[in-house]
Chain A
Amino acid sequence: MNLTYSEIRNNLEHGRSTCRTIVENYLSTIESQKKLNAFITVFDREKLLKRADAIDARFKSGKAGRLAGMIVAVKDAIVVKDERSTSGSKILENYISPYNATVIERLENDDAIIIGKTNLDEFAMGSSNENSAYGPALNPIDPTRVPGGSSGGSAVAVAAGLATTALGSETGGSVRLPASFCGVVGLKPTYGRVSRYGLSAFASSFDQIGPIGNNVADTALIASVISGLDAHDTTTANIPVADYFSEIKKNVKGLKIGIPKEYFGQGIQKEVEEAVQQTIKRLVSAGAEPVEISLPHTEYGIATYYILVTAEASSNLARYDGVRYTHRSADSKTINDVFVKSRSEGFGPEVKRRIMLGTYVLSAGYYDAYYKKAQKVRTLIKKDFVDAFSKVDCIVAPTSPTVAFKLGEKTDDPLSMYLSDVYTVNINIAGNPSLSVPCGKNSNNLPIGIQIIAKDFEEAMCFRVAQTIENF
């Protein structure tokens, strides 16, 4: 049973529930849904109950924070002090974090309880969660299908009622794609809106932590708590955070909604297109004004993305050296063995593939042809969005051309897996915020997601339009 946070809060306020019973209930659901493989680590029961009791006491004295009673599942790429953080990799199998990510500090300051760490593609590299060293998480709607990746476990945890909300992270669609495949709400905030301190680095000019919820209101609430300037991440913006939770009450009358023709082209499933078009019609009936737009460089997104992120990843993942805090090969006779054998044993195939591609595009002789070229195309893609937003207030498009695909369907063909992100990566290249919200189901009961893309730092617009869609 998926209670919304406002129901949970209401139950607490009327003495119908306590944080202790909420934690106990989630723990027993996690136990009964173990086959979904949503969690890599579930935190110690006694520790969780002790924290729940402390929050119950604060609640009684009227001093509880904004998220008291909210149970949050956190992607295993975000560190929680004194807990294991694997990033889905064998190379960090035994890594215990000595510190908290900024987002964790903020959630805990507002009395949320982190219940455990969720499954993901290794180092967030993947679109299906099948690249996890701990086995794939399964889609709760149809366990023969993928939940989407890379934040698959977080979306599964929310969809299956294993947590009230969750945190994921995006580099190229890793929150929105699993949200779409699992029928939940997921936000990719503007680059710089949420601190990356304590998030394992994949591609630093793309990475953003984003919230996942069962409904727009819960997602808005947790987004407003984790957002904002942080001294530990100099790329966070010194721009005030709007009260997203109140913004969702605004309607869409008079809003100009851009519909990009490039997002309804080749490869989109008919039922996905129909559900999205139907939702647009309803937005128009609710008073929004549709505007046909073009984002002409859309088709270059995947190529640009996979050059830039693999380049950044090959550099970021150089830190996993077998020396300081990772797995070290038992077979290390020389210092070179420490590096080469530890990395070769610790990383999985997709991570190695991306390190190889990234090393190649940055290597002497190829830098200009690939890396510099892609950085220039990044400028063109960003300009597409800037131009579009001079005409419209937001852009709506399908989150993915397809519903959740079958496990194993794309694992032998890396390029076809990369193309799953065709509707999401351009937004990460440009930096804008985008939120995926369910907008229907196909004939097999599989969820379909629609995304709302807004101007930089206008997450409030995403939430407002998404709430209107949720109300349909």
Chain B
Amino acid sequence: MSVTINDVKKIASLAYLEFTPEETERYCGQLNQILQYVEKLNQLDTSNVDITYHPITYPDVFREDEVEPSLPVDQALRNTPDKDWQYIVVPKVVG
């Protein structure tokens, strides 16, 4: 499998990133190089192997559902680039 310039553009839009044509070309080459390397996993027959999601597994972790203090709004919004009182301001979303 190899990645084309159009694939790179599509992945970039899925990831909310934009590139110059030169960057697109460079990432295309590098992604292909890396994907070619990871092909080596196909040397292994994994048809009867289970998936590992987490390296260490525990029994279900339960706790009491108790209300604890959380961050006050002014602290939670401390780093917000544009805000108005208790709200985050963004460009208009609906038409």
Q: What residues of chain A have their CB less than 8 Å away from a CB belonging to chain B?
A: 94-96, 98-99, 190-192, 205-206, 231, 234-235, 237-238, 297, 299-300, 302-304, 306-307, 314, 318, 321-328, 332-341, 343-344, 347, 352-353, 355-357, 359-360, 363, 366, 369-370, 372-380, 382, 414-415, 418, 428-431, 456
How many Å from the CB of B28 to the closest CB on chain A? 10
Give the distance in Å from the alpha carbon of A234 to the alpha carbon of B63 in the complex: 10
Counting CB contacts under 8 A, is B17 at the interface? yes
Contacts of A366 in B (CB 8 A): 1
Knowing A322-B81, A339-B16, the reply to whether A431 touches B55 (Cβ < 8 A) is yes
Give me 23 A-to-B residue pairs in the complex whose CB atoms sit less than 8 angstroms apart, sorted by A's number.
A99-B71, A190-B56, A231-B63, A235-B54, A235-B56, A299-B40, A321-B16, A325-B78, A325-B80, A333-B91, A338-B90, A339-B16, A341-B18, A360-B3, A360-B7, A360-B35, A373-B42, A376-B52, A377-B49, A380-B44, A414-B34, A428-B55, A456-B56
Tell me the smallest distance from the CB of B69 to a CB of chain A, in Å.
11
A300 touches B81 (CB 8 A): no
A231-B64 Cα distance, complex, nearest whole Å: 11
Cα separation A377 to B35 with both chains bound (whole Å): 16
Task: Say whether B50 contacts A376, CB under 8 Å.
Answer: yes
User: What chain B residues lie within 8 Å of A382 (beta carbons)?
Assistant: 52, 55
Residues of B within 8 A of A333 (CB): 91
The answer to whether A374 and B15 have CB atoms under 8 Å apart is no
Residues of B within 8 A of A360 (CB): 3, 7, 11, 31, 35
CA distance A352 to B19 in the complex (A): 10
Whether the Cβ atoms of B27 and A303 lie closer than 8 Å is: no
Given contacts A234-B61, A323-B88, contact A355 B44 (CB under 8 A): no
Contacting residues, chain A, for B92 (C-beta < 8 A): 335
Asked whether B67 is an interface residue with its Cβ less than 8 Å from the other chain, the reply is no
Closest chain A residue to B59 by CB distance? A238
Partner of A95, one of B27, B71, B75, B79: B79
Is A375 a contact partner of B38 (Cβ separation < 8 A)?
A: no
Contact A335 B61 (CB under 8 A): no
Which residues 62-80 of B have a CB within 8 angstroms of A? Answer: 63, 71, 75-76, 78-80
Q: Which residues of A contact B37 (CB under 8 A)?
A: 302-303, 415
| Contact A344/B78 with A323-B88, A356-B8 known, Cβ cut-off 8 Å | no
Interface 1/0 per residue, B11-25 and A, CB below 8 Å: 110111111000000
A347 touching B17, Cβ below 8 Å: yes
Q: For residue B58, which residue of chain A has the nearest CB?
A: A237
SS class, residues of chain A in contact with chain B: helix
Whether the pair A429, B81 counts as a contact (CB closer than 8 A) is no
The verdict on B84 contacting chain A, using a C-beta distance below 8 Å, is no
Once the chains are docked, how many angstroms separate the CA of A363 from the CA of B75?
Answer: 36
Do B78 and A98 have beta carbons less than 8 Å apart? yes
Digitize B29-57: 1 where CB-to-A-CB distance is under 8 Å, 0 elsewhere.
Answer: 01101110110111010100111111110
Residues of chain B lying within 8 A (CB to CB) of residue A191: 54-56
Q: Establish whether residues A370 and B50, one from each chain, have CB atoms under 8 Å apart when the complex forms.
A: no
Complex contacts, A377 vs chain B, CB 8 Å: 41, 44, 46, 49
CB distance from A340 to the nearest CB of B (A): 5
Residue of A nearest to B39 (CB): A303
Distance between Cα atoms of A369 and B71 in the complex (Å): 42
Which DSSP category, helix, strand, loop or mixed, fits chain B's interface? loop
Which residue of the partner chain A has the closest CB to B38?
Answer: A303
CB distance from B50 to the nearest CB of A (A): 6
B56 touches A192 (CB 8 A): yes
Contact for A363 among B14, B52, B81, CB less than 8 A: B14
In the complex, are the beta carbons of A344 and B55 less than 8 A apart?
no
Contacts of B91 in A (CB 8 A): 332-335, 337-338
Cβ of A262 to closest chain B Cβ, rounded Å: 15
Q: When the two chains form their complex, are residues A379 and B41 in contact, meaning their CB atoms are under 8 A apart?
A: no
Contact of B33 among A299, A334, A352, A415 (CB under 8 A): A415
Among residues of A, the one whose C-beta sits closest to the C-beta of B93 is A335
User: B63 near A237 (CB under 8 angstroms)?
Assistant: no
Partner of A303, one of B40, B50, B63, B82: B40
- Give bound CA distance, A415 to B34, whole Å: 6
B52-A375 in contact (CB<8A): yes
Centre residue among A237, A321, A325, A360 by max chain B CB count within 10 A: A360
A387 to B38, CA, bound (A): 25
Across the interface, do B80 and A340 meet the contact criterion of CB distance under 8 Å?
no
Top-3 shortest CB links A-B = A431-B55, A325-B79, A328-B81
Q: How far is the CB of B11 from chain A (nearest CB, A)?
A: 5
A228 CB to closest chain B CB (Å) equals 14
Q: How far is the CA of A328 from the CA of B42 in the complex (A)?
A: 42
Task: Name 11 extra pairs, CB < 8 A, besides A99-B75, A327-B81.
Answer: A191-B55, A303-B38, A306-B34, A325-B80, A353-B30, A359-B15, A360-B35, A375-B51, A376-B52, A378-B52, A378-B55
